[in-house]
Structure 1
């Protein structure tokens, strides 16, 4: 499976806005992709990537290229389009993203997910993300991946 993370650009931004999660997932990924694209124009720290599999657009993600005050790089959004879920693309894209963020000198990656998003929780755990706290923060479980 040839997963690539490509910059969101003039050529693909509109196609990215057409990506959707399943209706039953709207409570765990409520903001549409167009929101993240718009916010990235005003929040300098957001870096966007379109997720491709063999030249087919299948997903989208946003991450922070600068660490927060505690040295954490955050991943505020990752999604795979409803027509491409359940094929391992999300996990492979996360591995590629971890490599990318690590190449920027990052030592700590943070991500959050809704408590009822058990699939995301299991995937993040399988990649080494540990719960940062038992406390639910802003409606999410916060996880941390400590890199070497």
Structure 2
């Protein structure tokens, strides 16, 4: 599997907007890629990455390049296009994001997911992300991975 993370740029942003989840997943990933691209223009600490398999964009990710007031770096979004799910791209992409954040001296990585997104929950848990609370935060289960 030849996976890479590439900056979203004027060369690939439109292809990224074509990425989408399956119709039945709209409730667990309701925000389209174009929204994240737009928001990043007003949130300078948002970093956008396209997930590529070879030369084909297969997914999209957003993370914060700066820590929040508690010292946490957040992965705001991770999605794999409907046609490429179940092939290991999500796992590979999140591992690459974790390594990028480690190089940025991140101490803790936070990620959230909707309660009914059991696939994401199992993936994040298998990578060492632990629930920080049994209560939902903004409608999501929030998980933390300690890098120190």
Q: TM-score, normalised by structure 2?
A: 0.99
- State how far apart, in whole Å, the 1-side matches of 2:138 and 2:104 are: 28
- Matched residue count: 148
Q: Secondary structure at the match of 2:44?
A: coil
CA shift digits 1:47-68 (9 cap, x unpaired): 0000001111100000000000
Query: 1:5-44 counterparts in 2 under 5 A?
Result: 5-44=5-44
| Aligned twin of 1:127 | 127
Q: Secondary structure at the match of 2:4?
A: strand
- State how far apart, in whole Å, the 2-side matches of 1:97 and 1:75 are: 8
* Alpha-carbon RMSD: 0.5
- State how far apart, in whole Å, the 2-side matches of 1:75 and 1:84 are: 20
Gaps of 5+ in 1: none
| Aligned twin of 2:137 | 137
Q: Secondary structure at the match of 2:67?
A: coil
Gaps of 5+ in 2: none
Q: Secondary structure at the match of 2:62?
A: strand
1:131 Cα deviation (Å)?
A: 0.2
- State how far apart, in whole Å, the 2-side matches of 1:29 and 1:93 are: 17
| Aligned twin of 1:110 | 110
1:45 Cα deviation (Å)?
A: 1.0
| Aligned twin of 2:70 | 70
1:40 Cα deviation (Å)?
A: 0.0
Provide runs of 4+ in structure 1 moved above 4 Å. none
